[in-house]
Amino acid sequence: MWKHFKIEEFKCPCCGGLIIDEHLVDLLDQAREIAGVPFLITSGYRCKKHNEEIGGKPNSAHLKGQAADIAVPSSQHCYAILRALLEVGFMRIGIAKDFIHVDIDWSKPHPVIWVY
């Protein structure tokens, strides 16, 4: 279904549960093509238990399958990924030292970019 992703990459690591918004993965697939670098998904869907265990926000978009965290192994990767995410239309982006969070939860403020 997607060129650069398998649905398994978005499963909850604690229970294997999966709720994922296909539009999120469509956008990520487009961004991956543009960026020309791998996108390693470190967090996709999270069940409530897992979200609580890792300190996720109670209203996290991960709980609805509308968010993903992408590993950024270098500043060059960070730039390529961020540029591509913006190009395909992501309007909710969080930037940390070693990952980028994206979500399509339009019930939350957008467009926004924040840092962790």
Contacts 24+ apart (CB under 8 A), 103-108: 103/24, 103/61, 103/62, 103/66, 103/67, 103/68, 104/21, 104/23, 104/24, 104/27, 104/61, 104/66, 104/67, 105/61, 105/64, 105/66, 105/67, 108/59, 108/61
Number of domains forming the structure of the chain: 1
Q: Is residue 27 part of a domain?
A: yes
Query: What pLDDT is stored for residue 98 in this prediction?
Result: 97
pLDDT band at 1 (very low <50, low <70, confident <90, very high): confident
Q: What is the CATH number of the domain that holds 76?
A: 3.30.1380.10
For residue 22, tell me if it sits in a domain. Answer: yes
- Give a yes or no: residue 86 inside a domain: yes
Mean per-residue pLDDT of the chain? 97
Phi-psi region of 102 (alpha: psi -120 to 50; beta: other; left: phi over 0): beta
* Residue 4, in any domain of the structure: no
Residue 101 has pLDDT above 90, yes or no: yes
- Whether 97 is covered by a domain: the verdict is yes
Is a pLDDT exceeding 90 seen at residue 33? yes
* Helix or strand run (H / E) with residue 43: strand 41-43
pLDDT in tens, 39-65: 999 999 999 999 999 999 999 999 999
Q: What percent of the chain has pLDDT over 70?
A: 100
Q: DSSP letter for 54, please.
A: T
* Torsions phi, psi for 50 (to 5 deg): -65, -40
**pTM summary value:** 0.95
91 in any annotated domain: yes
| Mean pLDDT, rounded, for 32-44 | 98
Report the alpha-carbon distance of residue 26 to residue 8 in Å, rounded: 15
* Residue span of the structural domain in which 45 resides: 12-115
DSSP 52: H
Tell me if 79 is assigned to some domain. Answer: yes
What digits encode the pLDDT tens for the residues 83-99? 999 999 999 999 999 99
pLDDT score of 12 more than 90: yes
5 found inside a domain: no
